[in-house]
Amino acid sequence: MQGRHDLDLLQGTLDVLVLKTLSWGPRHGYAVARWIRDTTGDRVRVEDGALYTALHRMEQRGWIESEWGLSENNRKAKYYQLTPGGRKQLRVQTTTWTIYAEAVFTVLRAV
Amino acid sequence: MPRFPGIHRMFRSREISSVEREVDDELSFHFAMRVQELIAKGLTPEAANAEAERAFGDVALVRASLQRMGREVRGRERRAEWWADTVRDVRLALRGIRRQPMFALTVVLTLALGIGANIAMFGIVDRLLLRPPAHLRAPDLLRRLYFTITSDGEETTQPHMSYPQFLVMRESMRSAAGVAAFYSPELTLGEGDAARPQPTMLVTANFFSTLGVRLVLGRSFTDEEDTPPAGARVAVISYELWQREYGGERQVIGNPVTIAGDRYEIIGVAPRGFTGVDLKRIEVWVPLSAAASKIINSRYVPEPWNQAKNIEWLRGIARVNEPATIARTTSEATGGFRRALEATLSTARVDSMRPRAALEPLLLERGPDRTPTARIAVWLAGMALVVLLIACANVANLLLARALRRRREIALRLALGAGRGRLVAHLLTEGMLLTLFGGVCAVFIAHWGGVLVREIVIPDVAWGDTLVDPRMLLVAGAAVLLTWTLTSLVPALQASDIELAGALKTGAREGGGKRSRTRNVLVVAQAALSLVLLVGAGLFLRSLHNARSVDLGFSADKVLTVEANFAAAGYSNEESLALYERLLERMGSLPGVQHASLGVTIPFSTLLNVGIRLPGRDSVRLPPTGPPRINAVTADYFPTLGTPIRQGRGFTERDRRGATPVTVVNEMMARTLWPGQNPLGQCVIITESEGEPCLEVVGIAADVRWNDLQEHPAMQMYVAMAQRVWDSPLRVVYLRTTEDGTALAHAARREVREMVPSILFADVNSLAQNIEPSMRPWRLGATMFTVFGALALVLAALGLYSVIAYDVAQRMHEMGIRIVLGARSADVLLLVVGQGVRVAGLGIALGAIIVLFTGRWIRSLLFEISPRDPVVIAAMTLTLLLVAVAASLIPAWRATRVHPSEALRAD
């Protein structure tokens, strides 16, 4: 039960991170992975496989859409970008996450 | 601006690569970038590879799940795209329909009539031949009892049995789950002014349980309530009667209902639409033994009804346990039938009759009692299909013509990159919409048409209140599908099969030779099928005419029959007879009555046979039609019914009791008994009882068809009523009226009521009304074939017109040249009309061949006319030709009006 709960949290967290990453514009999967790693200073450890699964799942849900394009080094790469639905999702999840995090902090500081 | 569905498809490259390829491409890009990054950080390529894989997790697992998701997304996209295409097609088609409303209306109406005819006819065939009567449990295990005997080498099969015979049958058929008997007379329901004769059913106590019907209220009869000779006066009423007379109140149980003058207690209500095992409406069910003595003993036989072996009035129904036991139950039934016969006849006599019982299907029309009506209905259902085919040909024709007119538009679309598949889909959508509209209208047409056919042409079947039921809707759906396929596929395929360059380059008037041929073939087929239907209509109209004008030996027009059951009102036999005498006197003096007479039997309703012998002869050799029929009548009988006296005289007032006993026989009887001799002055003895006098033949009357329009003449004798004592006190008054008898019927009823106020009901019918049901098969055939034939004719004319008109429009150029070169109007007219007549003529020739080859199948359904009757075929051929000329004349006239310069300039 406990482990399952952690995984759910992690998935939701990963989704919101990916959405945030894409909020600045279209990126391919590798760029998303790299940006998360660099920004968090490698503190949040995400398996690349889980990241791609999240990308495809969100595409299936219609939050993001994909298109083939050329990368910086002229290779064929799949670019993802937010749909209007994805943008709304990002807003909702950001709010939820912030409230959640603040609540947790409040509890922790109270000690 | 029109949108071309094919265009954006071309730019979509995604279709080309598979979902699997895309996932692999994406992942390999990822690994390449990652390894590159790690090498840049100073790792060896091997270490970099290992690190990238470690950081990724389970590659195979992720790859598989990505591919699965990819496939789901792709599937959803395809569906969305299909929907979008469909919606676009529907919109385009609707726009097309709005642009040409007349075209759409013609197509929809044509299809609606074609499909509607099929639904309506299916409904009728379904009721008569396919669907078992309502509310029966496991109806395929229910069978009707029939009995066959052979006499004089001729087999007769009939379903009737006496009550003692029924008891023997029930006892013998041990392997059956139940054997029930019923009798369905019309009995007076209600009292006083509200009393009306209604269809009722006398049933054995096990009737409802044998059928497995569940009453909606109350219970059915117990064995104690059905104990001969007099059972309990309890009744089960129909759902319809319950609703109509008792407002559907549950308190109806225990209420009284008056049946044939007796009060019965209502104990149950049958389910809605329950008719028993026949398809006729029934108002009340009562135990057999409750009403039998009144009906049987007051009318027909003196001995107790449950012992009377010589009146066969009951029909039997048996439930078998499973289909496999039918053979066994049948042989038990045959054994029972033998035993029943042996109760009155010697074993040798019974052996010679070769008695046989049979378990026949529940539906009357599928058993030995089938009537021509059901067979004609099946034919009509087939004809309805023919009408639908003609309608389809017509619509295909119209769509084809339209597709041709749109050739350039279509070619342009193809040139601009529209896929042929999309184009076909578009045309199919258009066809489907039109067909669907047609189907919806068809249901309404079937509804109203169904009312017409059911109530007017086949009124004696309880159709139930749903005119269009789920099964009919299913048929409608099938018809729509068939129609859609037939009408849309060919034009769609043809239209998409267009040579681009040619179609774009040439003007609208050229090309299309091949398609024109297709359209001509369709018109030829239409004309052929139309001729078949028209000839059918002609044959049935002639049959109906023949049936109407058949010489019955009496003239039924303007003859009323008055029946009043004085015995049922409590009078003795002698009193009853005196009352009839008085009634005859009073009726005879009513204004508007020319002749009046008393009698015993009624044409097309009742029949009595007697055994006879001739003095000095051992036995009388009977013709196949059996022993003579007899009627006891009063003086004015022959002029009243209009039966001509061929020789000698009819009865007079002097033929009373005590005078020389006399008889009048018909020509057939005279011919059979005294061939080559003068029948007048001969004498006949009726062998009903000992010591009967020899009746002197004083007159020869014309042969009459007493029971059936198509019967062979039977021996018939008439005796003077005053000279013969009859067991039954029931008589009928015949009245010949000067004009239509409706008003007189009223007066007659009033007379009876005034004379005997306690009488329940006086039944006044016109003789023509009695005969009417016998005309029904031909009336049904004549009506429906005429409707279908007329429909086919209109459709064929429309089809021919559209082909010729289109052709003329295409050849305006040529016509212009002809006129310039000096062709006169008559030449042009002849040219165009000639074309129409040629096409129609080909169809007629084809139709005539079909008629000649299929004629023998309907020979038995016609009345005294050959299915190859040359007059009918010639008349219908002429009709069709005239219609063809008329249909071609309008476009022909248009062709003569071509202004040469205009025609040459155009396009």
Residue found by looking up tokens 């265009």 in the block: B7
Q: What is the C-alpha separation between B267 and B275, in angstroms, rounded?
A: 18
Mark yes or no for CB contact B25/A59 under 8 Å.
no
CB-nearest to A52 from B25, B62, B73 is B62
Higher pLDDT, B455 or B471: B471
Q: Which residues contact B384 (CB under 8 A, 6 or more apart)?
A: B114, B117, B118, B120, B121, B122, B788
What local confidence, expressed as pLDDT, does residue A10 receive? 58
Contacts of B290 (CB under 8 A, 6+ apart): B202, B225, B226, B230, B231, B232, B233, B234, B264
Q: Does B37 touch chain A (CB under 8 A)?
A: yes
CATH fold for the domain made of A2-110 = Arc Repressor Mutant, subunit A (1.10.10)
pLDDT in tens, B293-312: 877 765 566 678 888 887 88
H helices then E strands: how many in chain B? 27, 24
H or E element that contains B599:
strand B593-599
- Distance from C-alpha of B759 to C-alpha of B579, rounded to nearest angstrom: 12
CA angle (B360, B363, B368) in 5-degree steps: 50
Q: What is the mean pLDDT of chain B?
A: 84
Of B178, B454, B492, B494, nearest to B318 by C-alpha is: B178
User: Does the pLDDT of residue B692 top 80, yes or no?
Assistant: yes
Interface touch B57/A47, C-beta < 8 Å = yes
pLDDT category, B515, cuts 50, 70, 90? low
Contact B463, B125 (CB under 8 A): no
What stretches of B59-149 show up as alpha helix (H) in DSSP?
59-99, 101-125
Average pLDDT over residues A33-54: 84
CB of B572 closer than 8 Å to CB of B774:
no
Selected for mutation to probe chain A from B15, B38, B49, B56 (highest A CB count within 10 Å) is B56
| Distance in Å, alpha carbon of B240 to nearest chain A alpha carbon | 59
Pull the structure tokens for residue B877. 């051929």
Map residue B187 onto helix, strand or coil: strand
Joined together, the tokens standing for residue B49 give 């590879």
Q: What is the mean pLDDT of residues B647-666?
A: 92
Three-state DSSP string of B431-455: HHHHHHHHHHHHHHHHHHHHHHHHH
Which residue of chain A comes nearest to B71, CA vs CA? Answer: A60
Distance between alpha carbon A2 and the CA centroid of its chain, in Å? 23
Write the CA distances from B865 to B532, B545, B546, integer angstroms. Answer: 16, 10, 8
Q: Is B271 exposed, middle or buried (0-12, 13-18, 19+ CB in 10 A)?
A: middle
Flag whether the ipTM exceeds 0.90.
no
pLDDT at B12 over 50: no
Q: What residue ranges do the domains of chain A occupy?
A: 2-110
Which chain A residue lies closest to B22 (C-alpha atoms)?
A78
Q: What is the pLDDT of residue B205?
A: 93
In this prediction, what percent of chain B has a pLDDT beyond 70? 92
DSSP B234: E
Confidence (pLDDT) at B73: 83
pLDDT band at B844 (very low <50, low <70, confident <90, very high): very high
Report which of B815, B623, B635 is spatially closest to residue B718, judged by C-alpha positions.
B635
Place of tokens 């009146």: B311
Nearest-CB residue to A49 (from B32, B62, B69): B62
Alpha-carbon dihedral B891, B896, B899, B905, rounded to 10 degrees:
60
| B302: helix, strand or coil | coil
* A4 touching B (Cβ < 8 Å): no
Residue of A nearest to B61 (CA): A49
Residues of B in contact with A30 (CB under 8 A): 29-30, 33-34
**Could you tell me if B34 lies within 8 Å of chain A, comparing CB atoms?**
yes
Which chain A residues are within 8 Å of B80, Cβ to Cβ? Answer: none
Cα distance from A94 to chain B (closest Cα, Å)?
26
Q: In whole angstroms, give the CA distance from residue A49 to residue B183.
A: 85
Instruction: Tell me: pLDDT of B799 over 50.
Output: yes
Helical (H) or strand (E) element with B700: strand B694-701
Q: What are B212-265's pLDDT values in tens digits?
A: 999 999 999 999 999 888 889 999 999 999 998 888 888 999 999 998 888 999
Please report the residues numbered 32 through 91 in chain A whose beta carbons come closer than 8 angstroms to any beta carbon of chain B. Answer: 33-34, 47-50, 52-53, 56-57, 59-60, 68, 71, 75-78
DSSP B497-539: S--HHHHHHS-TTS--HHHHHHHHHHHHHHHHHHHHHHHHHHH
Is B29 in Cβ contact with A49 (below 8 Å)? no
Helix axes B420-451, B101-125, angle to 10 degrees: 50
The answer to whether the CB atoms of A59 and B59 lie below 8 A apart is: no
CB atoms B62 and A76 under 8 Å: no
Task: Indicate yes or no: CB of B61 within 8 angstroms of CB of A49.
Answer: yes
Smallest Cα–Cα separation from B817: which of B903, B692, B716? B903
| Measured distance CA(B240)–CA(B508) in Å, rounded | 65
CB neighbour class for B80 (10 Å; exposed up to 12, middle 13-18, buried from 19): exposed
Report the alpha-carbon distance of residue B883 to residue B877 in Å, rounded. 10
- Model confidence over B576-630: pLDDT tens digits? 888 999 999 998 888 889 999 999 888 888 788 888 888 888 777 788 788 899 9
Between chains, do A60 and B72 touch, taking CB under 8 Å as contact?
yes
Q: Which residues of B touch A47 (CB under 8 A)?
A: 55-57
The proportion of chain B whose per-residue pLDDT surpasses 90, expressed as a percent, equals: 28
CA gap B103, B395 in Å, rounded? 10
Per-residue pLDDT tens digits for B368-418 = 888 788 888 888 888 888 888 888 888 888 877 777 777 777 777 777 776
A-chain CB neighbours of B72 within 8 Å are 60
pLDDT tens-digit readout, B419-439: 777 777 777 888 888 899 999
pLDDT band at B466 (very low <50, low <70, confident <90, very high): low
pLDDT at A4: 36
How far apart CA B837 and CA B885 sit, in angstroms, is: 6
Q: How does residue B461 score in pLDDT terms, banded at 50, 70 and 90? A: confident
B761: tokens are 């009901």
Q: How far apart are CA B278 and CA A59, in angstroms?
A: 66
Q: What is the pLDDT of residue B751?
A: 85
Q: Which residue has the tokens 């998303």?
A: A32
Average pLDDT over residues B860-868: 87
What average pLDDT does this structure show over B171-191? 90
Report residue B377 as tokens.
């209905």
In this predicted model, which residue has the larger pLDDT, B406 or B94?
B94
pTM exceeding 0.95: no
Where are the domains positioned within chain B? 5-99, 139-362, 372-549+774-905, 559-772
CA dist B409 and B430 (Å) reads 16
The 3 state secondary structure assigned to B830-889 is: HHHHHHHHHHHHHHHHHHHHHHHHHHHHHHHHCCCCCCCCHHHHHHHHHHHHHHHHHHHH
Residue B11: is its pLDDT beyond 50? Answer: no
pLDDT at B819 exceeding the cut of 60: yes
**Which string of b and e fits B805-815 if b means at least 16 CB within 10 Å?**
bbbbbbbbbeb
Distances in Å between the Cα of B278 and the Cα atoms of A76, B208, B290, B362, B731 are 79, 14, 22, 8, 29
